[in-house]
Each structure stands twice: as C-alpha cells, then as structure tokens.
Amino acid sequence: MSLTDLGAVLLRQFDPETAHRLAIRALQLTPLPAPGADDPILKTTMAGLQMSNPVGLAAGLDKNGEALEGLSRLGFGAVECGSVTPRAQAGNSKPRLFRLAEDRAIINRMGFNNEGLEPFAARLARRPTRTAIGANLGANKDTEDKAADYVAGLRRLAGLADYFTINISSPNTPGLRALQGREALDDLLGRINEARPGDGAPVFLKIAPDLIGEEIGMIVEASLAHRIDALIVSNTTLERPASLRSAFAGESGGLSGAPLKPFALKALEAAAEAAGGRLPLIAVGGIASGEDAFARIRAGASAVQVYSALIYEGPGLIGRIKCDLAARLRAEGFSSMAEATAARR
C-alpha cells in the first residue's frame, strides 16, 4: 500500500468533513513526486483540450483551488476545482457530508461552500501546467438572476483555467436544476456564449442523472445551438436505491459513489444517443475501476472523472484505472482512446 493510499485509510477515521479538510491540507504540504509518463494509448484530445490520459478529478474535492499542485502530481489527465460562486458563502448547516461505507457511497448537501471568485482567481493564476486545470462555476444561493453569476465567473476567470464547467445540476442550491429547462437553458447558454473566453478555453455543461431521455436530448440540442464544447454526465442523484444499507441512507442531498453507477450510465447512454457523435461527453458517477472507465468509453464518453471512489480506494486508484484501461484498449484492438469512443457499442 502506498503512503497516499495509507493516508486515505487514516482519513476515514475522522468525520467526513474534517477528513476532507485534512486531505486538502496534506495535498498542500506533502512533497509528492511528479507522475511518470502515461501510456501513449491513453492520450486524449477533446474539444481542443489535450490530456495525457482520460482520467480526471471531478469537482468538489478542491472547492477553492488550494491544492492544485499536489493534485496535479497524482496522475490525473485533468483536475477540476470548484464549484466557485461569485461571492463567498458558508454553504448549508452541518452535518452536511455523510460516508455510507457499506454502500461505497457518499451523500452531500454542502451547498456550494467556497471562498468566492477573488481567492480562487489568485490561486488559478499560479496553477501548475503539467495537468489540465478546469474551473467549475456555480451560482450563489441568494442570487435571483443565477445566469448572471455564471457569466461573472466566466469573465473573472478568463485566461486562468484550461476549461470551464457550468454546473447547473447540483441538488443542493434551490432553483439551480430548474436551469435545465429549455427556456432557462437557452437564456443561460446564450449569455455564456457571449461571455466565452477570448483564449478559446472550452466550456462544458454538467447535467443531472435524474433527467429522462427526452430532457437529455433537449439539453444536447441546446448545447449544440449555443456552442457548448462538451457535456459532463453526470452530477449526484436524488434517488435512493432500495439496496442502500447505511444508516445514513435517508439523509437529504446528492448521492454519489457505487450506487450512482446505473443512473449515471443510463444518462450517458441517452446523451450519446442524442449527440450522435456531435458533442463530446465526459462520464462521471460510480467509476471505481478500469472496467468501469472502459464501459463508459465504450458507451460514448471521451473521458471520465472520479471522486467518491478515491475516498474508499485512495489515490492509487488513478494509476490502477489507467493501467487497466490501457490493457483493455489493446485487448479490444484499439490503437487510441478516440477510436474506442467512436466505436460506441
């Protein structure tokens, strides 16, 4: 077991939010070695974004961009920080983060707790360059015109991130998921398109897994109409599968981890069917192995993101996923990631 994986085991002895804070601190202070070169078969280019491998970190771990140097040394192809809102906010009352160990899952109702755009921008200005760094944008809880918050984030951070994600799918900010309706979405994406960074940094849209196929199809078409560069499928779910065993299963908030897998995969399949290769897709939700990652790529994803599985498996999971994924690509006769995505089952 590596020292980083041992650290993950030790962190699980603390309550989840304390463990989260300690993990960020450790990533700030621990002098981690630079990762080795990735297998060339894993090289990924998506929406103009070049990555040495398709395994990214999902938003939520480093909300304030505090540990980008440490995270960039763990072997990710991309690291997404945030969500960040224009103004600092405390988020929801505690407790708001729950570890469902029996289910390999997490429930959170954090509520976009973060320090706001200015500290975030200052840290992004010093971001490492070995890994693509994304900025996940959110809206303040008390903002009436939530689209204006996304525009403000995009404009303030222009030139500071390699890509941007418009997060309209968190279940923990009232009214946020309503932006996934067509009228509100057209207004939001039209304004985002006008505020698009001049350096050509791609803009992604992150959607919920709790949408039906017709809704996802509508979002795909709206995204194409407004030049969104990729969809991230998906965020946490409000569903509570009957299979959950943890005493925390009834807590409100978004569920992530292993139980999210079937919901996220279903949403990805619907998005791939609607997109028909016209819009790149990034898969998130319940990915905990090379097998999981390969299944999402064969379902039409160009890249994947992980987060909850790291809590249970430790950072060594990243290398294991990459190694297994490279082996599976070759075993199936593919010479590149792009070839595997294009040959969607």
CA atoms within 13 A on the CB side of 238: 10
Rounded distance between C-alpha atoms, residue 142 and residue 345, angstroms: 44
Rounded distance between C-alpha atoms, residue 51 and residue 40, angstroms: 11
- Please confirm, yes or no, whether 170 is among the known catalytic residues: yes
Query: Which one of the listed residues 52, 83, 169, 170 is annotated catalytic?
Result: 170
3-state SS record for the chain: CCHHHHHHHHHCCCCHHHHHHHHHHHHHHCCCCCCCCCCHHHCEEECCEEECCCEEECCCCCCCCCCHHHHHCCCCCEEEEEEECCCCECCCCCCCEEEEHHHCEEEECCCCCECCHHHHHHHHCCCCCCCEEEEEECCCCCCCCHHHHHHHHHHHCCCCCCEEEEECCCCCCCCCHHHHCHHHHHHHHHHHHHCCCCCCCCEEEEECCCCCHHHHHHHHHHHHHCCCCEEEECCCECCCCCCCCCCCCCCCCEEEEHHHHHHHHHHHHHHHHHHCCCCCEEEECCCCCHHHHHHHHHCCCCEEEECHHHHHHCCHHHHHHHHHHHHHHHHCCCCCHHHHHHCCC
**Cβ–Cβ < 8 Å for 281, 233:** yes
Edge-to-edge strand list for the sheet holding 254-257: 97-100, 105-108, 254-257
Active site residues: 170
